[in-house]
Structure 1
Amino acid sequence: MDYFKSPAFTTRVEELMAQNHVPGLAIAVVQDNETASAGYGHASLEPSVPCTADTLFDIASSSKSLTAASVGLLVEDEGYPEIQYDAPMSKLLPEDFVMPSVEYTEGITVDDVLSHRTAEKYRHDLSYMGPRAAQPDDARSVTRNLRNLPAAAPLRAKHIYCNMMYTVATHLIEAKTQQPFSAFLEQRLFQPLRMTSSSLQPARARERGLGDRIASGHRWDKATSTHEAFPPPDCPEGQGAGSVVTSANDFIRWVGALLRREAPISEEVYRGLVRLRSFPDPDARGLEPLTSPDLYAAGLEVHYYRGHAVVGHDGAIPGFRSKFFFLPGSGFGAVVLGNAEGAGAAAATLCRALVDAAIGVPEADRPAKGKGTEKKEKKNTDKAKEGELSKRETERPPQVTPLSAYVGSYWNPGYRSFAVQVKDDKLFIDGTDRSMGFTLVFDHVADQTKYGARFKDEHEEEEEDPLDAEFVFENGKAVKMGLRLEDAIKELIWFEREAGS
């Protein structure tokens, strides 16, 4: 606590914000029954709005701890005796929870859903439709679409992070309690913990008159040295996996409840949340000194540092990053919320510094202060990269087949329809109606059928490695399109051209 309140900590926060181009950070800490908090920088740059500990942020995947706790409350509740961690999901949701094979359908349990052991892949995020779609998804439709999405590995063979399974968990809650997940959160968690500014979805926060406290997300444009600002998105189709909007002052109450087993978090609920279930990285690649491999519990990650258990989670969506942790043995915890991609690196560095201070690591044994930037600058300048791209363009075989032969709508049961268009003399897919909006730009690679599709998230940089893409022709016209939307699945995901397109 003393370190958090010191001028040295404030200086470090400001340094990291500048290094990582973060407009605003909000931080709160808890030590036993004492809390403290502060805001730094700006919640919004235009207009200029200061960031405070009451500024509201989309905390993305840090929300998963609340979803897992919601399930844990039902496990403890005698009114729902059928909901147990080892209960098969297909028995709880017999009409809705159907996987691509009987083995997965009958074998996946509540525990598997909460610990990312279902063998689904997170990039299936691109399969569900956001509010801008003609037919948006919800928790039930996301659950029912599982039957159309191939698994990436044998059941429980590996930890594969899967957002949609947390949305499936909220469908279970809604089906059993007969109330929206947002109402369940408010009644069972937010109200008892006096998290009076917390909501599910930005729209709900605005409905409650809290819109002027919501931070803008930001993307740093290196070419112009400016920030692009945008609001956090509403993602009802992704509830449970993310989309909780909260403040540092509110969320530290949640951390304190976990530390103190404060109602509604009983000892039994807590033990269900922190029980170790899976290994995200069994090879322990890049393991830092004095640190154990990460372990996944239920909506919480656990590792050991210098003999101390560190429990928490982080979150990331375009324009926002969050991180929280607590030390069960030391009664200390912290929350760091930021409104730019670079806030992730800043939060990681600050959380390590707070852990070191809480457990009494001598200054000489702490990491050098030069660390903590989002990523190392690449050796090539932007101009050099552009030159390399131009060189690759000239080396590619020419596009001979008319682009009109590829244009049309292509259908896959799990991913629904993708419309291939022409934009700037390139084949192009606009996927901004998806939950995690994106675009694909196709570059010809070989045989007029093989392409590299450059993937770009809304508001974030284009991915460096293009996706494999392929077309199958009949009678001079493309009739199938394959896209490698899942790195862990060897085969392309195939789409059939829709009749009449």
Structure 2
Amino acid sequence: MPDPQDPISAPKMSRRKWLAAGGLSLLVACGALAFHFRAATPIADLTSAHAPVPPPIVLPTKPEDWRGRIDYRALDQRLADLTAQHSMEGLAVAVVEDGRLSFVQGYGLTSAKDGEPVDAHTVFRWASLSKTVAGALTAKLAADGLLSLDEPLDTFHTTLRLPRDAQRELTVEALLSQRTGLPKNAYDDRLEDGQDPAVIRHALGDVPVACAPGRCHTYQNVAYDTITEILATRTHEAYDQTVQRRLFQPLGMTSATIGQAGLVGAAHWARPHREGRILPMSEAYYRVPGAAGVNSTIVDLAVWMQAQMGLRPDVLPPAVLDSAQRPRIGTAAPYGRAPFAREIKHAGYGLGMRSFTYRGHRVIGHSGAVSGYRSTMMFDPATKTGIVMLWNSDAGLPFRFQAEFFDRAYGLPFTDWLDLKSVSDRRLAQARHLRLRETDEAG
């Protein structure tokens, strides 16, 4: 599974543009949408095992419900323009401002072939954003005394073998902060070819090292998913059951599931796309659920972001969040190909969680990319303001939009990070070049 890229996009057909510009006005026409969502003021005296599902509230899907410092009407128009690009299909967005859910909107379609409009009920894949769940869950179980982050991996008798038997000394903390010493994305190709993750993990012992274990950050999926084996040895249940019982159910994330069946079994789910074409579903990365197995609606992803902001201490106490979010090692700036990457400084990686500064402000989150799906969650822990986005294409443009969002949130002058005109011009130039080449070949 590659790191999120930034492919070229171009204008969509008129039907897509019309849907994008309309946003969710089509989608919640039946009136106020009642949906579980946590209030900004948490109930601190509940245990995570018994925290009730919050009462339903009206989601801010209409302009009259958009309140805050951010100009949400301008934000909505910008997102509509983004979704009208050729590389896009559907997009769901939610904003939390000052800890309060302030904006929920859907754009485009769930499928290029007779698809429904994307709305607050549409289920997408999280892809690698799922790593934040594994990291937070491990920190939570460590706080509960079920394991120690300092325990060597060999203690758990997993299928992972590292070069020079480094699993004998490498800790759980090092595994989740991507410090295995393996080459980046080691044997992802074997996973995509259908091999059993347990078999692949055993074979990792024979690969050349990128660095001494614990000394550098090299992003992994197959190795990272070893955490599911580790947790199962202490909880005595499957990883997805532990996630549901300890996190999703207490948070009221009723749409959140782990595995392909949870996606395709949803009443309203987004199909994967590339450049307007529907792609076949791929199960490969669902077989490493700790790395990339989660699905949900945009609202439940916003619930997860609120919990990461510290608004649900009954489920994720401050010490657990600090453990999960605190960077253990420096990394290259994420979104390295995007224009706004030059504004990113001090990038680091915690337990399945990235952090960096953007124009002087600390930002926390993660993104994800699998075939036909992308995802991102980024928030400022100081202001408790952030954005989550889920979309069903390989497009990279929404990653750029995060920078525009934070510029608006911080009251900074507008910077055209999306650069949609340039994107469209490049797309048209490519199309003209292709037509000329076809004409030459025909002659």
TM-score (norm 1): 0.66
The aligned amino acid for 1:164 is V
Return the offset for 1:141. 4.1
Q: Which residue of 2 aligns with 1:112?
A: 174
Conserved in 2, the CA contact under 8 Å of 1:37 and 1:249? yes
Change (3 A) 1:283 1:27: closer
Distance 1:322 1:148 in 2: 33
Inter-partner Cα distance in structure 1 for 2:71 and 2:159: 51
Q: Could you tell me which residue of structure 2 aligns to residue 396 of structure 1? A: none
Report the CA distance between 1:321 and its aligned residue: 0.6
Of the three residues 58, 76, 84, the one matched with 2:148 is: 84
The residue number in structure 1 matching 2:121 is 54
Conserved? CA contact 1:323–1:337, under 8 Å: yes
Report the counterpart of residue 318 of structure 1 in structure 2.
371
Show the counterpart of 1:403. none
SS at match of 1:179: coil
Pairs within 5 Å for 1:449-468: none
Structure with more helix by fraction: 2
Q: Does structure 1 residue 243 correspond to structure 2 residue 305?
A: no
- Shift in Å at residue 235 of structure 1? 4.0
Alignment partner of 2:215: what SS?
A: coil
Q: Where do 1:29-48 residues align within 5 Å?
A: 29-35=95-101, 36-48=103-115
Distance 2:424 2:149 in 1: 39
Please report how far the alpha carbon of residue 105 of structure 1 lies from its aligned counterpart in structure 2 after TM superposition: 2.6
* CA 193–218 in structure 1, closer or farther in 2 if over 3 Å, else same: same
Of 84, 88, 98, 2:161 maps to 98
Cα separation, partners in 2 of 1:211 and 1:282, compared to 1, 3 Å: closer
Alignment of 1:90-489 (within 5 A): 90-93=154-157, 96-102=159-165, 104-121=166-183, 122-128=185-191, 133=194, 137-138=196-197, 140-206=198-264, 210-220=265-275, 226-231=276-281, 233=283, 235-262=285-312, 263-281=314-332, 288-342=341-395, 344-345=396-397, 347-363=398-414, 366-367=415-416, 370=419, 377=426, 381-382=433-434
**Structure having greater relative contact order (Cα 8 Å, sep ≥ 6):** 2
More strand by share: 1
Of residues 3, 18, 26, the one that matches 2:92 is 26
Kept after mapping to 2: 8 A contact 1:65/1:298: yes
Superposition misfits of 4+ residues, deviation over 6 angstroms: 282-287, 372-376, 383-387
Report % sequence identity: 26
1:39 deviates by 0.7
Are 2:310 and 2:321, in contact at CA under 8 Å, matched by a contact in 1? no
Deviations 1:307-348 (CA, angstroms, capped at 9, x unpaired): 211101110011111011110111112101111111x32x22
Say if 2:73 is the partner of 1:7.
yes
CA distance in 1, matches of 2:160, 2:418: 49
Unmatched 5+ stretches in structure 2: 1-66
Shift of 1:386: 9.8
State the Cα distance separating 1:270 from its structure 2 match.
0.4
TM-score with structure 2 length normalisation?
A: 0.75
Query: C-alpha separation between the residues in 2 aligned to 1:10 and 1:282?
Result: 28
- Say what the alpha-carbon RMSD is for the aligned residues: 3.0
Alpha-carbon distance change, 44 to 120 in structure 1, aligned in 2, over 3 angstroms = same
CA contact (8 A) 1:59 1:245 kept: yes
> Does the residue aligned with 1:25 lie in a helix, a strand or coil?
strand
- The structure with the largest alpha-carbon Rg is 1
Aligned-partner Cα distance in 2 for 1:30–1:194? 17
